[in-house]
Structure 1
Amino acid sequence: MVQQSKKKGLAAKWAFEAHQPNAGITLSGVTKTLRGRTVLRDVTLHMAPGGIYGLYGPNGSGKTMLLRALAGLVSIDAGSIDILGERLRPGHSPSSAGIVIEPMALWVDCTGMETLRLLASLRRGMRECDLERALERVGLDPRDQRAYRRYSLGMRQRLHLAQAIMERPSLLLLDEPTSALDPAGRALIHGVLREERERGATVVFASHDRKELEALCDRQFAFDNGTVREG
């Protein structure tokens, strides 16, 4: 009887710890209304650290709004968001996050390398080799002298991801990051995201392509009119 009670106690302790804020990302009762329409409706879910999580659903279903809320780009009307041990406060972004959410405002006259240098100087500075490596990982040449304005849509998506991963953040929030890429480009980016997961990053990835999410993600969440279900 004592042994059984001890086991129950350990199970309860594990269940409690698994839902603590420092165990990943926890949303509790998150609601957001925009221009009279409820875009997120009492969303409650948990994502453990070090996984790739897929969000899918039609346009306007709430997946991009959820990413914006996780990034601290919009305030929520009700509920709470805990990200990797921090309660997200209104007007603040997670302390270690790489974000790709359109529209991305980058310097149109800068090369890819110049862009990363500028971003690194605005943040905390990085080694030149780290910036070069970030570009190479997504399939861009650090020596390419073309300006951003001359990039194809696919090249722009690659650069957006390079700036998101260059500081090795704990969290990646990505909205349709491969929509303009061909199959080979998608496969390359999927490999990068799996590498990020292996080093311990948590990746939240929104896509219209259910097959892409099935091939890439550990868990998936379906959005429908602001409500969310797993599966």
Structure 2
Amino acid sequence: MTVIQTTEVSKRYGGESAVVDLDLTVEDGVVYGFLGPNGAGKSTTIDMLMNYTRPSAGSITVLGLDAQEDASEIHARTGILPDQFGVYSTLTGREHVRYVLDANDATGNPEAVLDRVGLGDAIDQRAGGYSKGMQQRLGLAMAIAGEPELLILDEPFSGLDPYGVRLVRDVVEAERDRGATVFFSSHVLDQVERVCDQVGLLANGHLIAEGTPTELRDIAGVQTRLCIETADEDLAVEGIRDFDGVEDATYDAGEIVVTCPRTACYQVLRRLEGAGVSIRSFDVEQGTIEDAFVELADA
């Protein structure tokens, strides 16, 4: 089933375009990363999916329902962590989660949900005393409460320390394994790459590329570099350039740098060892989604 479908969707504020002719398809059971810098149009797109604002042109369906006509049903089946999430300072963590469950007529255990996001010890504390990171994790707990079919997370890494960032990734993976579809936006591109099945890159309101992380690196021509520390002279480089899959090889100051697909790195190392080259150490530098974004945005 197609969970999110936008067709030629645009949003204008006065004379300024925030989103332009967006055609987006998100299938059931995937983690879709909607990536781009601040101001690219990510939050505006999410606002249109949830009918917080209406498109200037185009059509949107969510969970097979019209985003405008069926907004109430979509909200009942969707968990959302909005950007700039705020808490009710006088309510406890438990009361926040219970409110969501009651509002969506859903069943669930607030204690179990808050344990998942590392707030089990603070469940009965008033949220006004939570740190920024704790408030962000409370927002995540509210989003996953009741096991929604669709989870929408807008900048979920905001305000989190490394532990919190890893926790978000773990929760996203668990929700996908449960069968939910996860759609989230972020400008923290390196974190999103670790968990996404599909990625859409947004720049200035335009969807500039879409695919798996590997496909986007290939489209952008982002390359993997195998860096090998060796005491041998650069005579080995000429032979390396003849290896299958190797695009280039250079030698400088005791290091051979080989440009090749990641899948070819092991074969290169084996052939060098077989040729008697002394390898002290090696490292694989793989191009990232951030590298791909920069290449595609500047194209």
TM range (shorter): 0.7 to 0.9
Provide the aligned C-alpha RMSD in A: 1.8
2:20 and 2:205 in contact (8 A); partners too? yes
Number of residue equivalences: 208
Within 5 Å, which residues of 2 pair with 1:119-138?
A: 119-124=100-105, 126-127=107-108, 130-138=109-117
Q: Which has the larger radius of gyration?
A: 2
Which residue of structure 2 lines up, in the alignment, with residue 7 of structure 1?
A: none
User: Aligned partners of 1:68, 1:143: CA distance in 2, in Å?
Assistant: 31
Which residue of structure 2 lines up, in the alignment, with residue 12 of structure 1?
A: none
User: Which has the higher mean CA deviation after the structures are superposed, 96-105 or 211-220?
Assistant: 96-105
Residue of 151, 171, 176 corresponding to 1:192: 171
User: Which has the higher mean CA deviation after the structures are superposed, 85-94 or 41-50?
Assistant: 85-94
User: Which has the higher mean CA deviation after the structures are superposed, 113-122 or 58-67?
Assistant: 113-122
2:43 and 2:83 in contact (8 A); partners too? no
User: Aligned partners of 2:55, 2:69: CA distance in 1, in Å?
Assistant: 8
2:111 and 2:123 in contact (8 A); partners too? no
Which residue of structure 2 lines up, in the alignment, with residue 215 of structure 1?
A: 194
> Could you report, residue by residue, the CA deviation over 1:197-219 in whole angstroms, capped at 9, with x for unpaired residues?
11111111111111111111111
User: Which has the higher mean CA deviation after the structures are superposed, 25-34 or 115-124?
Assistant: 115-124
Residue of 67, 73, 78 corresponding to 2:52: 73
The answer as to 2:84 corresponding to 1:103 is yes
User: Aligned partners of 1:107, 1:138: CA distance in 2, in Å?
Assistant: 18
2:87 and 2:128 in contact (8 A); partners too? no
Within 5 Å, which residues of 2 pair with 1:148-187?
A: 148-187=127-166
Which residue of structure 1 lines up, in the alignment, with residue 249 of structure 2?
A: none
1:98 and 1:171 in contact (8 A); partners too? yes
Structure 1 pair 187–83 and aligned structure 2 pair: CA distance change class (3 A): same
In structure 2, the gaps of 5 or more residues are 211-215, 217-299
> Aligned-pair distance for 1:91?
8.0
The answer as to 2:24 corresponding to 1:57 is no
> Could you report, residue by residue, the CA deviation over 1:71-102 in whole angstroms, capped at 9, with x for unpaired residues?
22111111111222212225825241011113
Letter in 2 for 1:220: V
Which residue of structure 2 lines up, in the alignment, with residue 5 of structure 1?
A: none
> What TM-score comes out, normalization by structure 2 length?
0.65
User: Aligned partners of 2:161, 2:30: CA distance in 1, in Å?
Assistant: 24
User: Aligned partners of 1:88, 1:69: CA distance in 2, in Å?
Assistant: 8
User: Which has the higher mean CA deviation after the structures are superposed, 197-206 or 96-105?
Assistant: 96-105
1:30 and 1:44 in contact (8 A); partners too? yes
Identity %: 37
In structure 1, the gaps of 5 or more residues are 1-21
The answer as to 2:205 corresponding to 1:226 is yes
Letter in 2 for 1:101: P
> Could you report, residue by residue, the CA deviation over 1:145-178 in whole angstroms, capped at 9, with x for unpaired residues?
3211111111001100101101111111111112
